[in-house]
Amino acid sequence: MSAIELSYTQYQIVVNIFSFTMTATTVSAIFFFLKRQDVLPRYRTAITLLGMVSVAATCNYLRLLLSWREAFRVVNGAVVQTGVPYDDVYRYADWVLTVPMLLIALVLVLDLPLRQARMRSTILGLLAVEMIGLGYPGQIATTITTKWTWWIAAMVPFLIIIQQLYGSMSAAIRAEPTEARRLISLARLVTVATWSAYPVLYLLPIMFPARSNAIVATQIGYAAADTVAKAFYGLLICTIAQRKSVDAEAAAATDAAFTATALATRS
Amino acid sequence: MSAIELSYTQYQIVVNIFSFTMTATTVSAIFFFLKRQDVLPRYRTAITLLGMVSVAATCNYLRLLLSWREAFRVVNGAVVQTGVPYDDVYRYADWVLTVPMLLIALVLVLDLPLRQARMRSTILGLLAVEMIGLGYPGQIATTITTKWTWWIAAMVPFLIIIQQLYGSMSAAIRAEPTEARRLISLARLVTVATWSAYPVLYLLPIMFPARSNAIVATQIGYAAADTVAKAFYGLLICTIAQRKSVDAEAAAATDAAFTATALATRS
């Protein structure tokens, strides 16, 4: 185990960032579970998935916080290593569960025909599992060559996901009404932008091994990317679902009024 | 790390105040989540936000209580420092998440047109984030000049928020029905009054460095301000939403009765 020298401020920043992420994901889970009732039944699975992702993130960050506090102890204001390594490999367990759900939530607010929605969800879900699965051996590997090899391997499904979102799904996104299209394009951009942070953060400890700044920066970066990719992205998906529900209900009301007027005129 | 000498009573007061605040925010969260069903759908997001703020506050105070008990230990009736610093910097993580939500909840019970509500929420939310973000470097700074510099910087967005609430939002508040206007004005006053406590509390440890009375007074002051600014303020917003929902339903019932009478007269 390599020696890591942390200042109290570095130690404290990570504790506070993890605590903040736990709270943000807890309250966003509550938001999604309550918001679920406000959208049409056909969008509820998407919102439920977002709530589940948030709960999984809370569990993940509680686990990371406990591991951080087990690996380092504060003695007379100074931070000492306890001998128990800090274990953030658990992040991969969280991601393999939640990343497919995030992609499927996007597919489910698109109003695709059932067969096509199922096909898109399966393709994107499997690509996400593959991406995380290929990143994991690199994370636990000890040689730089092995780490790079798996990094390159994991980039392949990531690039295919981007190609899916911007290539073969473009037609479906263009077919959406203006307001929804704008929000879906933003959600897609947030996905690609935040997910691009992960391969960069993965490389930080390779570039600067055993440097305490690199370790702290990696933890802050992952927490920030997780918060945006889960809570903020979820909020966007939720807004899309709510907007489409309101529009659909307004259209139904107009139809009903039109029918009533037509009937009244005819009689 | 500076030496802090606390009497057992001082130590105990903080433990009890934190426990009280945790309980108050927990039960107010339950109140908001249940009350949510009793208001019209258009006010539900506001009430949901209030519940989320209360849950975040509970997490915050649990975290503060644990940190307080980690920093001080009672040995044979005397309070000794353990060597782990008391960490209340986490308050800023809570505030950066919850203060925008509190302001947005006020905007959402105002019945503004969608576009204007979104604009007001964005402006007030960003100002709140800026205010907390500028206060934070001062909180962790070690020199008095730096602390004062950031204090002044954070006061700028705070004064703009007051100007927004009492200036550009006045017209919208005056347009509300009498009863709602009175409650909204009170909620606005509670916001400005309780939030004014924070910059004063921030200055206490600067004025009286390493004085145990100042530390205890700061903790009690923050807890009291948090309870009023979150639970009591939330109760006001909730009352506004409920009053407006009841009035809207009564108006709808009158309309329906009027239409029925008109139809009956015509036939």
Please tell me which of the candidates B33, B84, B90 has its beta carbon nearest to residue A19: B90
Counting residues of chain A whose pLDDT is more than 70, the rounded percentage is 99
**Position A151 confidence tier, pLDDT thresholds 50, 70, 90:** very high
Q: Is B55 on the interface with A (CB under 8 A)?
A: yes
- Tell me how long chain A is: 267
Task: For A5-42, write each residue's pLDDT tens digit.
Answer: 899 999 999 999 999 999 999 999 999 999 998 899 99
Listed residue (B91, B70, B96, B89) closest to B81, CA to CA: B70
pTM for this predicted structure: 0.89
Half-sphere exposure of B161 (CA within 13 A, CB side): 30
Q: ∠ CA(B87), CA(B89), CA(B95), 5° rounding?
A: 135
**Position A267 confidence tier, pLDDT thresholds 50, 70, 90:** low
Task: For A153-199, write each residue's pLDDT tens digit.
Answer: 999 999 999 999 998 888 888 888 888 899 999 999 999 999 999 99
Token pair in block for residue A249: 């209900």
Average pLDDT, integer, range A224-252: 92
Cβ distance B55 to A27 less than 8 Å, yes or no, reads yes
Greatest CA separation for chain A: 89
A26 to chain B: which residues are within 8 Å by CB? 55-56, 59
HEC per residue, chain B? CCCCCCCHHHHHHHHHHHHHHHHHHHHHHHHHHHHHHHCCHHHHHHHHHHHHHHHHHHHHHHHHHHHHHHHEEEECCEEEECCCCCCCCHHHHHHHHHHHHHHHHHHHCCCCCHHHHHHHHHHHHHHHHHHHHHHHHHHHCCCHHHHHHHHHHHHHHHHHHHHHHHHHCHHHHHCCCHHHHHHHHHHHHHHHHHHHHHHHHHHHHHHCCCCHHHHHHHHHHHHHHHHHHHHHHHHHHHHHHHHHHHHHHHHHHHHHHHHHHHHHHHC
Residue type, A206: I
Q: Is A6 on the interface with B (CB under 8 A)?
A: no
Token pair in block for residue A252: 């139904």
Average pLDDT, integer, range A241-262: 86
Please tell me which of the candidates A15, A38, A74 has its beta carbon nearest to residue B83: A74
Determine the residue among B37, B84, B108, B136 to mutate to test chain A binding: the one whose Cβ has the most chain A Cβ atoms within 10 Å: B84
CA distance B178 to chain A (A): 30
Task: For B165-198, write each residue's pLDDT tens digit.
Answer: 998 888 888 888 888 899 999 999 999 999 999 9
Determine the residue among A17, A28, A34, A75 to mutate to test chain B binding: the one whose Cβ has the most chain B Cβ atoms within 10 Å: A34
Cβ distance A20 to B90 less than 8 Å, yes or no, reads yes
CA distance A40 to chain B (A): 14
> What is the structure's pLDDT at B238?
95
> What is the structure's pLDDT at B32?
97
Please tell me which of the candidates A17, A24, A34 has its beta carbon nearest to residue B97: A24
Token pair in block for residue B78: 């005397």
> What is the structure's pLDDT at B1?
55
> What is the structure's pLDDT at A1?
55
Are residues B131 and B163 in contact, defined by beta-carbon separation less than 8 angstroms?
Answer: no
Residue B83 has a CB neighbour count (10 Å cut-off) of 15
Question: What string of pLDDT tens digits covers the 267 residues of chain B?
Answer: 568 889 999 999 999 999 999 999 999 999 999 999 999 999 999 999 999 999 999 999 999 999 999 999 999 999 999 999 998 888 999 999 999 999 999 999 998 998 899 999 999 999 999 999 999 999 888 888 999 999 999 999 999 999 999 988 888 888 888 888 999 999 999 999 999 999 999 888 788 877 888 889 999 999 999 999 999 999 999 999 999 999 888 888 888 888 888 888 776
